[in-house]
A and B are shown apart, each in its own frame.
Chain A
Amino acid sequence: MKRFLLPCIAVILLPGLIHAQEKPKQDAKKFVVPFELIKTQHMVVNVKVNGKGPYRLVFDTGAPDSLISTKIATEAEVYPKDFKKPVLALFGSAGQMKVKEIELGDLKAENLTAMVLDHPTVKAISSVVGPLEGIIGFTFYARYKTSIDYEKKEITFEPNDYKPGDVMSALMNKMMAPKSVRETPRILSPVGLIGLRVEKAKEDEEAGVIVKEVLNESPAADAGIKAGDRLLTLDGRWTDSVADLYIASGLIRLDAPITARVLRDGKKMDLKLTVRAGL
């Protein structure tokens, strides 16, 4: 318990990046790594951990962290020198560990985290398709522009300087935040000024929100949006509720034209909208 409580004193409610990790030291080039599609339709890649292996790991975009078996952890000397296994180690779990190096083909990533865990589902799958020793997840692949091609059975990695951050610390901080902080609603902020007022009645189940007002000289007015229009999408995102519209408007770029799709007199129209810095 103590080990977990310690890092949870700080109060952080911002989603996303909390801890920067070292970025990979590769040039901006592409690495093509083949994968095997096993009977259960999971992608399996050959992975070296701290130079040991190769081991077969599942490539899983649904896993926020990578996972290695106790076998890898032992062989690749992932456990710290003074490490004592916890008394109650369900599935051999030793918690989150630092891994010096993970290699997929020619691609080397340094200083990552991985959970040491004999995942029961991975074990169940390996009882059918041969040994699998863990999962390659977000902390690895998010460092790259990652392209998955099921036809060629290839994953292409291109370093993009993105820092995946430590999801566990962020979540723990979120869970341990004081009640007052947790119960303060998050504010959804548009990136800039659009110049619209919209509405959506509770019983209205049609797509889009209704534009109630467009302010003169605003970006919305310049785009040709009119009161009475139904705003269907903003920059490709559905705007089926007022909250949706605010989320979409928080994810656009300023000073660059984006598409606002409206429904007017039964016709869909794509309007070019350029949002400007403002409030």
Chain B
Amino acid sequence: MSRRWMILAILALVPAVAFAGEKKQDEPKLDPPTKVPFRLSDTHHTIVRVKINGKGPFNFVVDTGCPVMLVSEPVGKKLGIEKGWATLDSLEIEGGLEMKKLKARIETPFQIEGMNGMGLPGVELHGLMGYTVLAKYKMEFDYTQKQMLWTPLKSDPLEPQPLGAGAKGAQGGMDMMVALVKIMTLFSGSGPVPPPQPRGFFGFELSGKDNMVHVTRVLGKSPADEAGLKKGDRIVSVEGTEVRSVNDVIAQADKLAAGKTLTIVVQRNTENHDIKITAGDGL
């Protein structure tokens, strides 16, 4: 038996939500179309950020496979809302969209619990944004871009229907798999990852041409200025690696948090100089 499919199966966010029928909500008229920034998680889920009742931001998966707005229980706790059906006073979506009085379900889907527990997505997931929100918009997904396009539609989303008595065992043991995968996670030693760190700040501008990289500006009082870097210097190497493009320089520097030192060799008036810049705080 392979673990691969198990993990993948819980990644497929088709939560089985059993719920009773609820009344439809009004929606405010919105301006067309809005750029909604998104990120692709390491699990290949499309994440948009929201603020609920002014709190957040929280990370939600854009999930047409989910019939409702599903908010995880820890987020519910932060908002002071108990498990079950709730009306959110406001839902802001990053990029500038806002909804008032939105019906949502406070409940942690086992997929979210499983993925967060393993630290798989690379970002903590707080819930699933499903049909009752998504159907208010015409949505454009384009993974070559950094933003989605959401255009408000005129008609209201339909009321989600309960599966009814005909559907038996909607979870069907999928929730058990989370427990299994969690145990396997223990053995593989995987788990939540440490929080990311900002890159350090150096304070100079670069341009590249004909396989050569030059310093085009050094900001006053910046770490680069204090280390003696000058405008016009040609960067020969960084961390002992020869440099042919701006990206070569950035690739080396991108590993360094504040406090770390970038060692570069520059050519100035035919002479080579060693320069050590200790990264400061900033961007």
**Interface residues of A, Cβ cutoff 8 Å to B:** 1, 3-4, 15-16, 37, 39-43, 58-65, 67, 86-91, 93-96, 115, 117, 119-125, 127-128, 135, 137-138, 141-142, 145-151, 160-162, 164-165, 167-168, 170-172, 174-176, 179, 182-190, 193-198, 213, 215-218, 235-238, 240, 242-249, 251-252, 276-279
Distance in Å from the Cβ of B167 to the closest Cβ of chain A? 4
Residues of A within 8 A of B62 (CB): 61-62
Do B205 and A193 touch (CB < 8 A)? Answer: yes
Known: A62-B13, A151-B155. A238 touches B57 (CB 8 A): yes
Q: Answer yes or no: B195 CB below 8 A from chain A CBs.
A: yes
Do A93 and B13 touch (CB < 8 A)? Answer: no
6 extra A-B contacts, CB within 8 A, seeds A64-B12, A147-B141, A215-B203: A128-B163, A148-B138, A150-B138, A183-B194, A198-B283, A238-B94
Q: Answer yes or no: B73 CB below 8 A from chain A CBs.
A: no
Residues of A within 8 A of B39 (CB): 247, 251
Known: A167-B43, A197-B201, A279-B250. A61 touches B163 (CB 8 A): no
Question: Of A67, A146, A184, A213, which one neighbours B141 at CB under 8 angstroms?
Answer: A146
Residues of A within 8 A of B44 (CB): 64-65, 138, 142, 164-165, 167
Distance in Å from the Cβ of A62 to the closest Cβ of chain B? 3
Cα distance A137–B12 in the bound complex, in angstroms:
8
**Interface residues of B, Cβ cutoff 8 Å to A:** 1-9, 11-16, 35, 37, 39-46, 49, 51, 56-57, 61-67, 94-96, 118, 120, 122, 128, 130-132, 134-135, 137-144, 146-147, 153-155, 157-158, 160-161, 163-164, 166-174, 177, 185, 188-190, 193-199, 201-207, 216-217, 219-222, 224, 246, 249-250, 253-257, 262, 281-283
Question: Of B141, B257, B281, which one neighbours A142 at CB under 8 angstroms?
Answer: B141
Interface SS majority for chain B: loop
Cα distance A168–B281 in the bound complex, in angstroms:
36
Residues of A within 8 A of B2 (CB): 1, 3-4, 86, 95
Residues of A within 8 A of B257 (CB): 185, 187
Known: A125-B163, A243-B196. A63 touches B12 (CB 8 A): yes
Look across to chain A and name the residue whose beta carbon is closest to the beta carbon of B9: A117
Do A182 and B94 touch (CB < 8 A)? Answer: no
List 25 A-B residue pairs with CB atoms under 8 Å apart, sorted by A's residue number. Answer: A4-B2, A4-B4, A62-B63, A63-B13, A67-B9, A67-B12, A91-B9, A93-B6, A95-B5, A96-B5, A124-B169, A125-B14, A128-B163, A138-B44, A141-B141, A149-B153, A175-B118, A183-B193, A189-B250, A197-B282, A216-B221, A236-B35, A246-B198, A278-B206, A279-B253
